[in-house]
Amino acid sequence: MTQSGMTAVKPQTADSDDMRPEYDFSGAVRGKHYKPLHEGYSVYVHKADGTTTVQHFKLDEGTVMLEPDVREYFPDSEAVNAALRSLITLMSEMPGKSGGLARKMRGAGGKRRVTRSHAKSVKV
């Protein structure tokens, strides 16, 4: 006990192992339920009367998803488009580049990993 009569609490560190011995993940498959968001997703609404409503969603062609840290600075489409137009102007003004950087960026559309769940379940 400390002088104030309170028990000192040992802070948890990243090294602390809170995994119980009875947990066995030896047969687990990483990404078993992962499905790219662009393929669409379903929302299941379980109602109090026992019925379930299912809504299917698919992202429109050309939809761009912003990461949360970027979303803090660009809250809507107008802000994103204004910033990108400024960037395009700057890239086209670069001496000796004649838009080459802009072309490279357009062609760099690699796949991104989506970390949120695609099938939501809501109880009403």
Q: What does the domain layout of the chain look like in residue ranges?
A: 37-123
Q: In angstroms, what CA-CA distances link 36 with 10, 64, 66, 107, 124? A: 41, 14, 15, 20, 27
- 49 phi-psi bin (left φ>0, alpha ψ -120 to 50, beta other): alpha
Residues in the chain, overall count: 124
Q: How far apart (Å, rounded) are the C-alpha atoms in residues 44 and 56? A: 9
Q: Which residue has the higher pLDDT, 6 or 86?
A: 86
Residue 80 pLDDT > 70: yes
Please provide the average confidence, as pLDDT, over all residues in the chain. 74
Under DSSP, the state recorded for 37 is G
Residue 22 has, within 13 A of its CA and on its CB side, a CA count of 0
Q: What is the pTM of this model?
A: 0.39
pLDDT attached to residue 74:
92
Of 74, 68, 75, the residue nearest 87 (C-alpha): 74
Residue 50 pLDDT > 80: yes
Pairing assessment for the beta strands 119-123 and 52-57 based on DSSP bridges: unpaired
Q: Which residue has the higher pLDDT, 58 or 122?
A: 58
